[in-house]
């Protein structure tokens, strides 16, 4: 998958639900909202306000090996998102 295709899939991921969850290969889980997608990384905001919120960049390389989920409002559950679909 080239960079342009990956960015398109990440945009689809960002639009798939009203919230996203990313579990990195290291086991770290980041839950929040996708704020920006570039050719190198994705920015996710995991907080509800400036005092609690944390923005974190995740590289494409880390995303390729991560497990991605989005909140499925119809079923009130986390749904798996596959980058390669």
Q: Shortest CA distance to 58 belongs to which of 84, 30, 79, 81?
A: 30
The domain segmentation of the chain, as residue ranges, is: 3-76
CA distance 56 to 84: 23
Q: Decide if domain 3-76 falls under CATH 3.40.50.80.
A: no
* DSSP line for 47-79: -SSTTT--EEEEEHHHHHTSEEEEEETTTTEEE
pLDDT tens per residue across span 19-74: 999 999 999 999 999 999 999 999 999 876 556 778 999 999 999 999 999 999 99
The encoded tokens of residue 46 equal 């995991």
pLDDT band for 1, please (50, 70, 90 cuts). Answer: confident
**Can you give the pLDDT at residue 14?**
96
Q: pTM for the complete prediction? A: 0.88
């Amino acid at each position: 998958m080239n960079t342009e295709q990956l960015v398109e899939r990440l945009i689809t991921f960002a639009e798939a639900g009203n919230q996203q969850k990313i579990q990195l290969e290291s086991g770290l889980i980041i839950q929040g909202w996708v704020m920006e997608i570039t050719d190198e990384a994705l920015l996710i905001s995991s907080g509800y306000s400036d005092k609690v919120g944390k923005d974190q960049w995740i590289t494409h390389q880390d995303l390729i090996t991560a497990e991605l989920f989005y909140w499925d409002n119809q079923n009130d559950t986390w749904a798996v998102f596959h980058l390669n679909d």
